[in-house]
Homo-oligomer: A and B are copies of this chain.
């Protein structure tokens, strides 16, 4: 594993924060000091520090120095694109995924618009039910552009589709647009989820794009109200 010098410095400082050598309110060494310490140029050190700041671990203040922020922030780093598996492993939950339906279809005009492809384009549609701690609480409706993500099948869908895309197909995922809103429960929700009397779901609509800007996925994740949680750090 060849990792950049910038990343080594990032990890090195992050470790000191994680293991408590550096604590909330502590001042870090100056950029010049860190340069000597790690035998790197100041620019390289700065890039590592910018990363730490962006991810909420430290805060630079001009003329004063850099300070470690509250360890709370570390727990908040579920931001960015994270797979369903990663998040729930982190939270120590028992999770199962069941593929309820796997259906190749041709895009109707509405779906074509959501996926930014032509009408009639081949699309793989998957319905998956997520069971957390014994209750069916999330219904995922996935639509993948078959031309971009070939070879999808039920087995892959029941494991991790993102792992398949990144490691088997070797594609790079770049960014995702998300919208979060609430909707009244529909027929599908009632069929697949344990609603426990709730009459709305939280819907996370997601369009995901490859490194070259092509959209390959549209997904609706329908969460039972009381099991939904989203966290985030927003920077000015």
**Residues of A participating in the B interface, judged by any CB pair closer than 8 Å:** 25, 43, 56, 59, 61, 67, 69-70, 72-73, 76, 79-81, 116, 172-182, 198-200, 202, 211-213, 225-226, 228-236
Per the bound structure, the CA–CA distance linking A179 and B228 in Å amounts to 10
Are A175 and B233 in contact, with the CB atoms below 8 A? Answer: yes
**Complex Cα gap A76–B116 (Å):** 16
In the assembled complex, the CB of A51 is this many whole angstroms from the nearest CB of chain B, namely 12
Q: CB within 8 A of A179: which of B181, B200, B229?
A: B229
Q: Using Cβ atoms and an 8 Å threshold, which residues of chain B touch A202?
A: 182, 202
Which residues of B have CB within 8 Å of A176? 233-234
CA–CA, A51 and B43, complex, Å: 17
List the number of copies, as a whole number.
2
In Å, the complex CA distance between A176 and B235 comes to: 7
6 shortest interchain CB distances as A-B pairs: A180-B230, A182-B225, A178-B232, A59-B213, A175-B235, A179-B231
Q: Is the CB of A80 within 8 A of B212?
A: no
Q: List 16 A-B contacts (CB under 8 A).
A: A25-B213, A56-B175, A59-B174, A79-B234, A80-B235, A80-B236, A173-B236, A174-B236, A175-B236, A176-B233, A177-B233, A179-B231, A180-B230, A182-B225, A198-B200, A199-B199
Residue of B whose beta carbon sits closest to that of A231: B179
CB-based nearest B residue for A56: B175
Which one, B173, B177, B199, B234, contacts A231 given CB within 8 A? B177
Whole-angstrom CA separation of A157 from B226 in the bound complex: 32
